[in-house]
């Protein structure tokens, strides 16, 4: 799973390094993302209502891709429309947001050539230079990491920083603050259009107009700043995510291969623990237990080591159970307040099995740095041979 502490920290390390080097202002930090909108949007109703009636133009609609970009201070680049067709027609952009462009694709998805075309469009709107560069944050899709795109960005003062894989729902500012409200308003605009035009259907020619109406209501300062703030990008806040946010990734953690010395020490720890726990199937008696008074003289509670599951292989997973005597004075409140049994020691999370990766895993990178450029050039030379 891409959204884990290691991957996120690596992204913030790259972000902080770029910020320290180029001193980007919030007006020069942009996020770009693609999202699909359908001519038959989802039904929207009050929560809890089971039967929802709605006028729709068809059972199944066509999906048009929007390529959006915004800065940390409400500077929105007009969206680019990608229509699923062979030829681009001018009437598809009637009443579109001023400055928008249209592109066509058989699969409606962005490819390498289309992304390069969008970079030219982005440069014309943002006007980056080597003296006044721009930071562009985007996902690490392969279409964004071509040699032509990297060279164009290096020549025009655009620094590309990729997000960790599978982390857009948490770290993509457009996903956090803009695209959701945009699709909701687009659905409302579709309902209004169908009510005002009975008997007609929403096609590709009406999409640009409806997106324009929705964009006027959601392209606000609050949506832009909140998207960057909740993702910890501006202002930079690497502690924006708590341990609960990374809990889902713990089940996919894979142990890294260890050295021979680490293996021997791990075997010694396992042997020591197995010897300690094999002496008795039950908890040890009070006479052999370690008392809290040995650690802190002001308490009368007793601590017992609690064995964990058989597949836990670290000493730190051992827990202590506090047993308070039924008679006598109660221990001080501050004595045992920090002693607890971690839930993971009672019921550990399942762990992924070690596996041989067939391809190199992705991570957050500065795509305009020399290492990626050299790697892409090497791939190009290999293909020509």
Task: Write the CATH number for 102.
Answer: 3.30.420.10
Same domain for 29 and 115: yes
Same domain for 303 and 206: no
What is the pTM for the complete model shown? 0.75
Give the pLDDT confidence of 152-195 residue by residue, as tens digits: 999 999 999 999 999 999 999 999 999 999 999 999 999 899 88
Q: Identify whether 264 is part of a domain.
A: no
Least confident residue range of 45-59, 227-241, 268-282? 268-282
pLDDT score for 243: 87
Same domain for 50 and 122: yes
Residue ranges making up the domain that contains 321: 289-310+317-325+339-350
Same domain for 346 and 367: no
Least confident residue range of 24-28, 207-211, 331-335, 370-374? 331-335
Bridge partners for 101 per DSSP = 80
Residue 121 has pLDDT above 90, yes or no: yes
Same domain for 302 and 210: no
Same domain for 151 and 94: yes
Q: Identify whether 260 is part of a domain.
A: no
Q: Identify whether 282 is part of a domain.
A: no
* Total count of domains within the chain: 2
pLDDT score for 309: 43
Q: Identify whether 32 is part of a domain.
A: yes
Least confident residue range of 139-148, 271-280, 293-302, 334-343? 293-302
Q: Identify whether 332 is part of a domain.
A: no
Same domain for 205 and 78: yes
Average pLDDT for 220-224: 95
Give the pLDDT confidence of 301-318 residue by residue, as tens digits: 444 444 444 444 444 444
pLDDT score for 153: 97
Average pLDDT for 142-149: 94
Same domain for 232 and 295: no
Same domain for 116 and 141: yes
Q: Identify whether 255 is part of a domain.
A: no
Q: Identify whether 279 is part of a domain.
A: no
Same domain for 306 and 224: no
pLDDT score for 226: 95
Same domain for 297 and 215: no
Name the pLDDT band for 86 (thresholds 50, 70, 90).
Answer: very high
Q: Identify whether 111 is part of a domain.
A: yes
Same domain for 302 and 187: no
């Amino acid at each position: 799973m891409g959204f884990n502490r290691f991957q996120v920290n690596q992204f913030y390390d790259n972000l902080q390094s770029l910020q320290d080097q180029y001193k980007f202002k919030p007006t020069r930090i942009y996020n770009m993302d693609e999202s699909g909108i359908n001519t038959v949007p989802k039904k929207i109703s009050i929560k809890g209502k089971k039967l929802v009636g709605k006028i729709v133009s068809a059972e199944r609609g066509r999906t048009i891709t929007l390529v959006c970009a915004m800065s940390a201070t409400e500077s929105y680049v007009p969206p680019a429309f990608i229509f699923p067709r062979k030829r681009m027609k001018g009437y598809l952009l009637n009443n579109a947001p001023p400055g928008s462009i249209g592109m066509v694709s058989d699969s409606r998805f962005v490819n390498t050539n289309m992304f390069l075309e969008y970079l030219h469009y982005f440069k014309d709107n943002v006007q980056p230079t080597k003296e006044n560069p721009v930071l562009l944050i985007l996902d690490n899709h392969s279409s964004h990491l071509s040699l032509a795109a990297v060279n164009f960005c290096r020549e025009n003062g655009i620094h590309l920083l990729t997000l960790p894989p599978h982390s857009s729902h948490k770290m993509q500012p457009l996903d956090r603050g803009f695209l959701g409200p945009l699709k909701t308003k687009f659905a409302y605009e579709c309902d209004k259009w169908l009510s005002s035009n009975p008997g007609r259907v929403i096609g590709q020619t009406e999409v640009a107009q409806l997106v324009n109406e929705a964009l006027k209501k959601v392209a606000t300062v609050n949506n832009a700043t909140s998207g960057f703030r909740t993702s910890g990008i501006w202002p930079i806040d690497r502690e924006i995510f708590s341990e609960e946010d990374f809990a889902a990734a713990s089940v996919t953690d894979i142990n890294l291969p260890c050295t021979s010395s680490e293996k021997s020490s791990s075997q010694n720890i396992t042997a020591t623990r197995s010897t300690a726990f094999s002496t008795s199937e039950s908890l040890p008696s009070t006479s052999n237990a370690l008392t809290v008074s040995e650690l802190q003289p002001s308490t009368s509670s007793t601590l017992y080591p609690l064995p964990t599951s058989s597949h836990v292989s670290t000493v730190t997973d051992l827990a202590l159970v506090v047993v308070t005597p039924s008679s006598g004075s109660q221990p001080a409140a501050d004595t045992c307040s920090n002693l607890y049994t971690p839930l993971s020691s009672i019921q550990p999370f399942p762990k992924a099995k070690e596996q041989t990766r067939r391809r190199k895993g992705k991570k957050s990178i500065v795509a305009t740095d020399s290492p990626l450029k050299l790697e892409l050039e090497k791939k190009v030379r290999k293909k020509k041979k």
